[in-house]
């Protein structure tokens, strides 16, 4: 067993996978070139797959699901995603297992190169998102379970393999991430309905859902060297907190209806009119979300820079605990509230619902 674990965590195994997919380190004489790509199909496939586990995917896919598919499903996706990502991010900074060594591995993502490796949060999130979506929809909509399962496995597999291809994780990191997500889903599934009803159980819920995540972010495990894990964790927890506040507020404005428990719904046919409406809702919503993100980021940074007497646009100052956590939390909790409350209100005003 020990020998198997060592082989799965071996950087040479990652390097061999990269070379089989046509990715090689550049020769020493090519000092300006870091790597050579000989198979661009795998290169773009895995680069795209890696993006499916990053902010650009979550800030588009989760709102799209909420606006166009099913707010009930989105609520479950966000809760599971937030908890899974927090477990993964904290585990990295507690275990402190290094990423694959370079050389021999080619690393394609310099921003994340200084983070620790175990577990792969991309693999965790991809597994959690795909299988939570499958479980949450299979008893609400009529579709082939085999097809849904195949798509969930395909999605999580492609994102997981992309982490090996990009040199960010060993095989053991990826397997560990998948197993943690699978175990969490299995253990937490019986409580999903209880958590759904917990949101409306108390008027203190919105306060708790803001205070607890902020406390967790502010008391994030300290690393010897700066890594973006604390900032990324704050982004995730804040977006989740803002979205959950939105779910709590939405019924007061009649923006969403309670899920029907009686019958499984048929998936409506994808007509040109429906496609156009969905794209319009998405484009209107995503523009508002990005504007709110930029506005709240600028405002919160200006206030914090002034409060702590820091030179404006000092990027290094953003990494300070007392600046990084509050500005990230304010920015992305605002994004979450905007996506779940103000954008649906705008859709309603424009007659898009």
pLDDT in tens, 73-82: 888 899 899 9
As to burial, measured by CB atoms within 10 angstroms (0-12 exposed, 13-18 middle, 19+ buried), residue 168 is: buried
140: domain CATH number is 1.20.144
Q: Looking at per-residue confidence, does 314 or 54 come out higher?
A: 54
Distance (Å, rounded) from C-alpha 337 to C-alpha 250? 10
State pLDDT tens for residues 203-214. Answer: 677 788 888 888
Same domain (yes/no): 162, 279:
no
Instruction: Determine the pLDDT at residue 335.
Output: 92
Instruction: Determine the pLDDT at residue 253.
Output: 66
Same domain (yes/no): 146, 86:
yes
Quick check: is 323 in a domain?
Answer: yes
Q: What is the mean pLDDT of the chain?
A: 82
276 three-class SS: helix
Q: Name the residues annotated as catalytic.
A: 122, 169
124 three-class SS: helix
Vertex 84, ends 62 and 215: CA angle to 5°? Answer: 95
Whether residue 45 is predicted with pLDDT greater than 60 in this model: the reply is: yes
Instruction: Determine the pLDDT at residue 258.
Output: 54
Instruction: Determine the pLDDT at residue 5.
Output: 53
Buried b / exposed e over 240-272, threshold 16 CB at 10 Å, is bbbbbbbbbebeeeebbeeeeeeeeeeeeeeee
Distance (Å, rounded) from C-alpha 58 to C-alpha 66? 12
Same domain (yes/no): 85, 114:
yes
- Tell me the DSSP string of 238-269: HHHHHHHHHHHHGGGGT-S-PPP-SSPEEPPP
Same domain (yes/no): 106, 176:
yes
Same domain (yes/no): 104, 149:
yes
Same domain (yes/no): 9, 81:
yes
Whether residue 139 is predicted with pLDDT greater than 70 in this model: the reply is: yes
Express as a percent the part of the chain with pLDDT over 70: 88
State pLDDT tens for residues 146-184. Answer: 898 999 999 999 999 898 888 888 888 899 899 999 999
State pLDDT tens for residues 143-152. Answer: 888 898 999 9
225: left (phi over 0), alpha (psi -120 to 50) or beta: beta
State pLDDT tens for residues 95-111. Answer: 888 888 877 777 877 77
For the chain, first and last CA: distance in Å?
56
Given pLDDT bands bounded at 50, 70 and 90, which one contains residue 257?
Answer: low
Whether residue 120 is predicted with pLDDT greater than 60 in this model: the reply is: yes
Quick check: is 135 in a domain?
Answer: yes
Q: Global pTM?
A: 0.86
Same domain (yes/no): 150, 241:
no
Instruction: Determine the pLDDT at residue 183.
Output: 93
Q: Phi then psi for 141, rounded to 5 degrees?
A: -135, 150
Vertex 145, ends 124 and 192: CA angle to 5°? Answer: 50
Same domain (yes/no): 190, 212:
no
Quick check: is 263 in a domain?
Answer: no
Quick check: is 265 in a domain?
Answer: no
Total domains, the chain: 2
Mean per-residue pLDDT, 33-42: 79
Mean per-residue pLDDT, 235-239: 90
Between the CA of residue 324 and those of 88, 103, 245, 277, 312, what are the distances in Å?
20, 32, 22, 38, 14
Quick check: is 197 in a domain?
Answer: yes
Number of separate helices (H) and strands (E) present in the chain:
14, 4
**DSSP label at residue 111:** G
List of residues 6+ apart from 239 with CB closer than 8 A:
58, 59, 78, 82, 332, 333, 335, 336
Quick check: is 260 in a domain?
Answer: no
Classify strands 141-142 and 265-266 as parallel, antiparallel or unpaired. Answer: parallel
Whether residue 29 is predicted with pLDDT greater than 80 in this model: the reply is: no
Quick check: is 262 in a domain?
Answer: no
Whether residue 136 is predicted with pLDDT greater than 90 in this model: the reply is: no
- Alpha carbons within 13 angstroms on the beta-carbon side of residue 289 total 28
Domain span at 234: 203-220+227-255+270-352
Quick check: is 85 in a domain?
Answer: yes
Same domain (yes/no): 281, 294:
yes
Same domain (yes/no): 178, 237:
no
Joined together, the tokens standing for residue 206 give 């919105």
Distance (Å, rounded) from C-alpha 231 to C-alpha 55? 12
Contact call for residues 248 and 255 (beta carbons, < 8 A): no
Same domain (yes/no): 5, 128:
yes
Same domain (yes/no): 165, 214:
no
Whether residue 200 is predicted with pLDDT greater than 70 in this model: the reply is: no
Whether residue 325 is predicted with pLDDT greater than 80 in this model: the reply is: yes
Contact call for residues 248 and 200 (beta carbons, < 8 A): yes
């Amino acid at each position: 067993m020990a020998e198997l674990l060592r082989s799965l965590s071996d950087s040479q195994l990652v390097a061999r996978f990269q070379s089989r997919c046509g990715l090689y380190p550049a020769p020493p004489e090519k000092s300006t070139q870091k790597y050579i790509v000989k198979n661009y199909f795998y290169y773009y496939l895995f680069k795209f797959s890696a993006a499916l586990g990053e902010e650009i995917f979550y800030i588009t896919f989760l709102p799209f699901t909420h606006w166009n598919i099913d707010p009930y499903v989105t609520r479950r996706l966000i809760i599971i995603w937030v908890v899974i990502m927090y477990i993964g991010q904290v585990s990295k900074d507690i275990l402190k297992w290094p990423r694959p060594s370079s050389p021999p591995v080619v690393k394609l993502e310099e921003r994340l190169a200084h983070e620790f490796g175990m577990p792969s949060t991309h693999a965790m999130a991809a597994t959690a998102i795909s299988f939570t979506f499958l479980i949450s929809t299979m008893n609400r909509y009529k579709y082939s379970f085999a097809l849904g399962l195949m798509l969930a496995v395909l999605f999580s597999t492609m994102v997981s393999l992309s982490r090996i291809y990009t040199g960010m994780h060993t095989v053991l990191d990826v397997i560990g991430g998948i197993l943690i997500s699978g175990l969490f889903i299995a253990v937490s599934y019986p409580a999903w309905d209880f958590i759904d009803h917990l949101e409306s159980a108390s008027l203190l819920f919105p306060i708790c859902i803001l205070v607890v995540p902020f406390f967790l972010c502010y008391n994030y495990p300290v690393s010897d060297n700066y890594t973006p894990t604390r900032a990324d964790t704050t982004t995730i927890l804040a977006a989740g907190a803002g979205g959950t506040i939105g779910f709590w507020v939405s019924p007061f404005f009649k923006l969403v209806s309670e899920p029907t428990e009686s019958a499984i719904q048929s998936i409506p046919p994808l007509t040109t009119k429906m496609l156009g409406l969905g794209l319009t809702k998405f484009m209107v919503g995503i523009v508002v979300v990005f504007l709110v993100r930029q506005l709240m980021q600028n405002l919160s940074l200006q206030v914090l820079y002034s409060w702590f007497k820091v030179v404006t646009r000092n990027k290094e100052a953003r990494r300070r605990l007392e600046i990084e956590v509050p500005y990230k939390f304010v920015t992305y909790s605002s994004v979450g509230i905007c996506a779940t409350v103000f954008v649906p209100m705008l859709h309603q005003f424009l007659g898009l619902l």
